[in-house]
Structure 1
């Protein structure tokens, strides 16, 4: 029998459509025709429907893709010469809401609202025992504690800095994304069921990397030559982490389970992603890629493949030494990898001069030395005993936001703040390492190695490209930290008395023979 809505249902439908139309017209008037503001009511209704009907993990995964794939407006994507088709979504996600709608009280970006909203939905569904979301694997209590300590350490640095005369307006921008990280972790704790959602997370980040690579390649090959531009990068600095994740997951998955299907798909993805990473031209991307793969190599047991790679490297080492010695002072394109490595070691500067980053690092160390235990607190500029080139005309608050966020955290937080903020990284790597040697599933072992690699990549971004204030970096570290905790519980790397009972009631991944050197749970 065909469904025939009642007159009352038709009336409700008509009222909803008319009301939505009126609100949309009002939004268009308020936003002076800005398509983002005009479509905001429709987007809000769509999000509301998804929230009420769809499992939370799908909303969280969608947010993850959008954060990594759209134009990241805070870092001036494509050097602001060309807005990609995803630029409007990036503007909607990352721009302060008061700038879009003109309401002064809305001094936060939409992405923050989505994070807080997702947490609220998770808590509400748990409290009401909703059946929309299945039960989730818990995370170890120490991980939850250090994530909370990270948040409260940042709040302490804010209070300490303002009490010492800091500028509260600038201080908020120094710690915002770092303070949001524990909240992002909470969002993914409530939304991800457990390690069984790892493949979905990996595919989402790979899809985002392919999207960004397509934007990077089109901009480099079409827009730049057509407009005769000179650019230093083609998307943004933080995209390096996304590119590295996609390349690393293909390599590590094949290492853990050498299959032809993994090899073919992996090679295709690596080529497509590497093209975008090459055009983006970030030296740290290559450093992070090598660092992540090195971490995977050292964690991996002595399989026949690892022995083969090790013997090959030893056999080729004399040739590599000669290659570096000959290419160290050469400008030939054949030795471009050597030139990149040399620029990382020596910096990019004229002969007899210090690199800008080196001078900045010296200033940060000098600032830290003024109060090594508690730091200056947020709201203060780093000291400048070694004069830097004045870049205030393009970046007025550059002394509040050092490129080296790692030394910046030491300068602003001292040993106390530095340890409190980043203790969760140590716990994350510890849990991933223990889980790796207790996991029987190749996917779980791949996840563990990727988590260690992501942490290494994040530290590189923090050290070289202000990664601590990037949502792109923050989201990847947060989701990996949560997955490390859930993997530890499922593999038995961390005590969980209800483990056997809960896993017996849920759909668990089929176990495989453990790798050589692995320990049974």
Structure 2
């Protein structure tokens, strides 16, 4: 291996510093802590507000975005392009959504849509490929993924302490009519930290000191997580827990099958109860649109918004409306432009958002990328040979389900920090999976040499050309994957 890969690098450290700052500081536009003026939001303005607004430099990007682009550019300059199959799959996953959005922009401009509005609608979409590439780079040295996990854990401990201070001493121990305690994205951070604390407590339960420490951390973070009351995060976390059996090694899965059966039975009962006793409106009625009838009085803002988006899908079923326009108002939405100017151009449900504006290509790109990530993280878990690999697969599962629910039911594509975590902990698993495949192939090759006649090839037998490798030197920190 080239010696430069064994030397400590400032680039991963710079990535971890940016990751830590983005998690530690708050976005003022997210109205963190409601009426409480948090100092983390005041400082966060320097990182998350537009450079033109904060620094007077005529750039319509935030400092966080510029630093993210710069780090990804340095990675590509120093590291270059890879020829491995997993890198190509990662690249495909990373650029499917931006490619679909680019097609939607072209079709929109050809129809006379406004290019400036299209840029506003897609401002944060590039964060998906940028952070998937950055995550892949960190995953080439899994120790940096571990450091990212610890950074997330300790920052969530701090966020929980500060959130409880605000709840007890600023809010007087009552949420009142407040919608959330911290902000929307913080539930995703806390869900991953809860997963980390729970995993560590479960796997180190024989060490009472560690068990009590991680148990206390879990309890500390659980309180603000519940008070933050983000239903999309609750659903995402439950989905991750239900999918855990599918990412475990077979030996562990067999030992825990009775627990999984009990959990599945409880989940079926709870879901059935929710379906039977749901208070959701059973029909639409009163205001006509074509053959459909809509009772506005029975619909909340999100339901009206989703209905209008589906009308847009019906109007342009093949290529979508194209970006640079606003979605139809078959049922007029309440005018909230005083707080969100683009309320009729950027809806809450960004899954339907892609379908409406980018057509089937948009939603297909998102689903395909999600399936690739789910497939890779499940294989990492199933083939895990150490607690570290199993932990990374578990956290990857949580972040992908959190991101998926946030994208499906809220403005997930517009939240850059959520895309950041998804990129780090899902994109970082691609090279981890590659490393596992390489080491397994090499082990089989060595076993073949011991049990059978000598072979002439120096490469592990049966290994695809895209994954062929050189035998790693002792102490090598990373491989070309």
With normalisation by structure 1, the TM-score equals 0.74
Asked if 1:74 is matched to 2:74, the reply is: no
Task: Supply the distance in 2 between the matched residues of 1:323 and 1:158 (Cα, whole angstroms).
Answer: 42
Shift of 1:497: 3.7
Greater shift in the superposed pair: 105-114 or 382-391: 382-391
Shift of 1:256: 5.6
8 Å Cα contact 1:139-1:482 kept in structure 2: no
Match of 1:199 in 2: 146
Counterparts of 1:415-434 in structure 2 under 5 Å?
415-434=360-379
1:23-79 Cα deviation digits (max 9, x unpaired): xxxxxxxxxxxxxxxxxxxxxxxxxxxxxx962111111111221221122322122
Task: Supply the distance in 1 between the matched residues of 2:164 and 2:280 (Cα, whole angstroms).
Answer: 25
Asked if 1:310 is matched to 2:280, the reply is: no
1:277-317 Cα deviation digits (max 9, x unpaired): 12212222221221111111343345465234135447878
CA 1:323 to 1:166, structure 2 compared with 1: closer, same or farther past 3 Å? closer
CA 1:111 to 1:154, structure 2 compared with 1: closer, same or farther past 3 Å? same
Counterparts of 1:165-180 in structure 2 under 5 Å?
165-180=112-127
CA 1:138 to 1:506, structure 2 compared with 1: closer, same or farther past 3 Å? farther
Match of 2:222 in 1: 274
Any gaps of 5 or more consecutive residues in structure 2?
1-7, 283-294, 439-462
Counterparts of 1:19-38 in structure 2 under 5 Å?
none
Asked if 1:394 is matched to 2:344, the reply is: no
1:496-521 Cα deviation digits (max 9, x unpaired): 6455623755158xxxxxxxxxxxxx
Match of 1:285 in 2: 233
8 Å Cα contact 2:304-2:333 kept in structure 1: yes
* Correspondence for 1:84 among 29, 34, 38: 38
Greater shift in the superposed pair: 89-98 or 148-157: 148-157
For residue 352 of structure 2, give the secondary structure of its aligned residue in structure 1. Answer: helix
Counterparts of 1:319-334 in structure 2 under 5 Å?
none
For residue 501 of structure 1, give the secondary structure of its aligned residue in structure 2. Answer: coil
For residue 126 of structure 2, give the secondary structure of its aligned residue in structure 1. Answer: helix
* Correspondence for 1:231 among 171, 175, 178: 178
8 Å Cα contact 1:406-1:462 kept in structure 2: yes
CA 1:295 to 1:365, structure 2 compared with 1: closer, same or farther past 3 Å? same
Match of 1:518 in 2: none
8 Å Cα contact 2:104-2:359 kept in structure 1: no
1:392-422 Cα deviation digits (max 9, x unpaired): 3332310111111111110011111222345
CA 1:394 to 1:113, structure 2 compared with 1: closer, same or farther past 3 Å? closer
Task: Supply the distance in 2 between the matched residues of 1:62 and 1:306 (Cα, whole angstroms).
Answer: 38
Match of 2:75 in 1: 122
Task: Supply the distance in 2 between the matched residues of 1:444 and 1:119 (Cα, whole angstroms).
Answer: 25
8 Å Cα contact 1:402-1:466 kept in structure 2: yes
Match of 2:319 in 1: 374
1:149-194 Cα deviation digits (max 9, x unpaired): 3333322222222232223333222222222221122233345543
Match of 2:16 in 1: 61
CA 1:315 to 1:177, structure 2 compared with 1: closer, same or farther past 3 Å? closer
Asked if 1:93 is matched to 2:47, the reply is: yes
For residue 403 of structure 2, give the secondary structure of its aligned residue in structure 1. Answer: helix
For residue 39 of structure 2, give the secondary structure of its aligned residue in structure 1. Answer: coil
CA 1:235 to 1:322, structure 2 compared with 1: closer, same or farther past 3 Å? closer
Shift of 1:242: 0.6
* Correspondence for 1:264 among 202, 209, 212: 212
8 Å Cα contact 1:257-1:442 kept in structure 2: no
* Correspondence for 1:466 among 411, 415, 436: 411
Any gaps of 5 or more consecutive residues in structure 1?
1-52, 128-134, 330-341, 509-521
Task: Supply the distance in 2 between the matched residues of 1:503 and 1:159 (Cα, whole angstroms).
Answer: 49
Bigger relative contact order (CA 8 A; separation at least 6): 2
8 Å Cα contact 1:250-1:262 kept in structure 2: no
1:174-232 Cα deviation digits (max 9, x unpaired): 22222222112223334554323221121122123223222322222122239997421
Task: Supply the distance in 1 between the matched residues of 2:157 and 2:76 (Cα, whole angstroms).
Answer: 34
With normalisation by structure 2, the TM-score equals 0.79
